[in-house]
Structure 1
Amino acid sequence: MEPETKQSAYHSAPYQAAGTAMMSFKPISSIHQHLCAFHVYSHDRSRHVEAHHYCKHLSEEFHQCIIYDSDKPDARLIGIEYIVSERIFKSLLQEEKKFWHSHKYEVESGLLQLATKYLVPGAVADTAEQPAMLELQKTYGKTIHTWAIDISPELPLGPPSLMVSYTADGQGPPEDMIKRRDEQWGQDTAAKKEMRKGYLPAYEKAEGADEWEKTGRGVKFSSEEIALQ
């Protein structure tokens, strides 16, 4: 068989099915949580992205998530997020803390949601997400997007970007983005906000999170060529 003929099988359904049967996908198979939120660029607060997090809890204090732009089979992999407990966040050096954001407002506002399957009734989803929201309210995230899909939808071009969260009303995301997600998922973000007031405790985030609130400055990554070591 000619090399070109062999290579043509690479993208075929039978070849991919054989790969699924032959290979192990343990790191991916261990993912057990789907969270949906919105991210905003640290260096440009006018750019907002819907982010679907698929997460694995490596421990009670450390979660890791891969981020896609949707929940569709052809979703684009756009970044990663690491989530840590308040205790771990407080132990970080001040220079490191500038890369981390709080989840307090995301949770309390209803913007961060547990993304259940379409046939799950809303009341069931609201009950199922309560343990998660109680936990996530007091956590901190470090989020890097490697694909700026809002300006380069075809290919992941340029350096990665630090993403942050919202900390107060009026910061975004735009109302039409929230409305579109609510309609797609059959959710009501405003109703979730009111419901969560009934079970979330009062919480003050740790010192050092969301430093941009004090400095008015964001973080933008750039490349630098250096001599090989």
Structure 2
Amino acid sequence: MESETKQSVYHSATYHAAGEAIMSFKPINEIHQHLCAFHVYSSDHSRHVEAHHYCKHLSKDFHQCVIYDSDDPNARLIGIEYIVSEKIFKSLPPEEKKFWHSHKYEVESGLLQLAPKSLVPGAATDIAEQPAMLELHQTYGKTIHTWAIDVYPDLPLGPPNLMMSYIGDGQGPPAEMVQARDAASGQDTAAKRELRKGYLSSYERVEAADEWAKTGRGVEFVVKEVPLKK
């Protein structure tokens, strides 16, 4: 059994080494930002998910991110997020805006953090993340999770889910989730909240975002079979 295990590890290492030698990873290699936050299901605000975003800035007004459930080597790929500036968000059609959420509260509350494990925890991290937080404070995101890991931990079953964020205190995530994230990353969400009061400017989110706050209604993607177009 031990011999079989060693052989399996050897073949795995050989496979990866051979792949890296002949394949291109250009889009992946362009990822330059790791953000950690929490998402809530658009249709069920009792369900919260820790989300690690790995992002590439296509322009100063548009970012694209792949999302994992952690920053471990075997992390599960659970979704994507597109991030746009206020200028682009305001230009979207009314029907499109309902899919988007603001980042104002995420940044101000300290829930959105930069690179929880790749930087030295504490003051160094707080200083390093200020430019990113200043930029993200006035942005808007469209997030779709393709894997509902809180219901189906083993496989990405079911339709995708639209995800939202928070716009005020008392909306989540549960304190124990934040405490677990802080313990794992060596950071302090509450301290970040106080620190950011000193450098974030006053900003009011665009009302057309976070539509659920006005309507009390969320969005679900429902499977519908239709005739094939030929």
Offset at residue 121 of structure 1 (A): 4.0
2:228 maps to amino acid? L
Offset at residue 114 of structure 1 (A): 0.3
SS for the counterpart of 2:16 is helix
Match of 2:82 in 1: 82
Structure 1 segments, 4+ long, off by >3 Å, are: 116-119
Offset at residue 210 of structure 1 (A): 0.3
Contact in 1 for aligned 2:81/2:142 (Cα 8 Å): yes
Match of 2:177 in 1: 177
Offset at residue 116 of structure 1 (A): 4.3
Match of 2:69 in 1: 69
Contact in 1 for aligned 2:119/2:125 (Cα 8 Å): no
Contact in 1 for aligned 2:38/2:173 (Cα 8 Å): yes
2:169 maps to amino acid? D
1:186 aligns with 2:186: yes
Offset at residue 40 of structure 1 (A): 0.2
1:154 aligns with 2:154: yes
Matches within 5 A, 1:199-210: 199-210=199-210
Contact in 2 for aligned 1:79/1:143 (Cα 8 Å): yes
Contact in 1 for aligned 2:58/2:64 (Cα 8 Å): yes
Match of 2:221 in 1: 221
Match of 1:167 in 2: 167
TM-score by length of structure 1 reads 0.94
Offset at residue 123 of structure 1 (A): 1.1
Offset at residue 90 of structure 1 (A): 0.1
How many percent identity over aligned positions?
A: 76
TM-score by length of structure 2 reads 0.94
Measured in 1, the distance between the counterparts of 2:176 and 2:91 equals 38
Q: Report the RMSD for the aligned CA atoms in angstroms.
A: 1.5
1:207 maps to amino acid? E
Measured in 1, the distance between the counterparts of 2:117 and 2:211 equals 36
SS for the counterpart of 1:12 is helix
1:95 aligns with 2:105: no
2:35 maps to amino acid? L
Contact in 2 for aligned 1:118/1:185 (Cα 8 Å): no
Change (3 A) 1:119 1:100: closer
